[in-house]
Chains A and B, each alone.
Chain A
Amino acid sequence: MGCSSSLPDRSSGRLVGPNSENGGAPDSKNLRVKLVLLGDSGVGKSCIVLRFVRGQFDPTSKVTVGASFLSQTIALQDSTTVKFEIWDTAGQERYAALAPLYYRGAAVAVVVYDITSPESFSKAQYWVKELQKHGSPDIVMALVGNKADLHEKREVSVQEGIDYAEKNGMFFIETSAKTADNINQLFEEIAKRLPRPTAQ
Chain B
Amino acid sequence: MPSRRRTLLKVIILGDSGVGKTSLMNQYVNKKFSNQYKATIGADFLTKEVQFEDRLFTLQIWDTAGQERFQSLGVAFYRGADCCVLVYDVNSMKSFDNLNNWREEFLIQASPSDPENFPFVVIGNKIDVDGGNSRVVSEKKARAWCASKGNIPYFETSAKEGINVEEAFQCIAKNALKSGEEEEIYLPDTIDVASNSQSRSSGCEC
Contact = CB atoms under 8 A, between A and B. Distances in A.
Please determine if A and B sit in direct contact within the complex, based on CB atoms under 8 angstroms apart: yes
Interface of A: 40-43, 91-94, 96-98, 114, 116-117, 119-120, 123
A117 B186 contact: no
Nearest to A61: B1
A156 to B, nearest CB: 11
Nearest to A101: B190
A120 B185 CA distance: 19
Interface stretch (B2-10, B98-106, B129-137, B162-170): B2-10
Given A114-B1, A117-B1, A119-B2, 7 more contacts: A93-B3, A96-B186, A97-B186, A116-B1, A117-B2, A119-B4, A119-B5
Contacts of B186: 93-94, 96-97
B2 A97 contact: no
B2 A114 contact: yes
Interface string B18-46: 00000000000000000000000000000
B203 interface: no
B206 interface: no
A41 B2 contact: yes
Instruction: Name the residue among B2, B4, B186, B187 with the largest chain A CB count within 10 angstroms.
Output: B2
Nearest to A98: B188
A152 to B, nearest CB: 15
Interface residues of B, number: 9
B126 to A, nearest CB: 42
A97 B187 contact: yes
Specify which of A41, A114, A119 lies most central, judged by the most chain B CB atoms within 10 Å of its CB: A119
A40 B187 contact: no
Give 3 nearest A-B pairs by CB, closest first. A42-B2, A120-B2, A40-B2
Contacts of A97: 185-188
Contacts, number: 32
A41 B4 CA distance: 10
Contacts of B185: 97
Nearest to B3: A41
26 contacts: A40-B2, A40-B3, A41-B2, A41-B3, A43-B2, A91-B2, A91-B3, A92-B3, A93-B3, A93-B186, A94-B186, A94-B188, A97-B185, A97-B186, A97-B187, A97-B188, A114-B1, A114-B2, A117-B1, A117-B2, A117-B4, A119-B2, A119-B4, A119-B5, A120-B2, A123-B2
A41 B3 CA distance: 6
Contacts of B188: 94, 97-98
Contacts of B187: 97
A65 to B, nearest CB: 15
A114 B1 CA distance: 8
A170 B200 CA distance: 49
Contacts of B2: 40-43, 91, 114, 117, 119-120, 123
A98 B186 CA distance: 10
B203 to A, nearest CB: 32
A104 to B, nearest CB: 14
A94 B188 CA distance: 9
